[in-house]
Amino acid sequence: MGMYEVLMVLFAFGTFLLALLALVMKMINRK
């Protein structure tokens, strides 16, 4: 695996985590 591939995977995973966190915050604020 090259450095570029590792960075792309980390970027995709980080974006997924941010989206999940935003969704959780919306659920908490709705209550």
CA atoms of 24 and 3, how far apart (whole Å): 32
* Structure token digits, residue 13: 């995973």
**The pLDDT of residue 30:** 85
Taking only the tens place, the pLDDT of each residue in 1-31 is 799 999 999 999 999 999 999 999 999 998 7
Residues, the chain: 31
Phi/psi at 2 (5° precision): -85, 170
Per-residue pLDDT, 9? 98
| Short-list 26, 17, 18, 13, CA closest to 5 | 13
What pLDDT was estimated at residue 20?
98
Instruction: Specify the pTM.
Output: 0.61
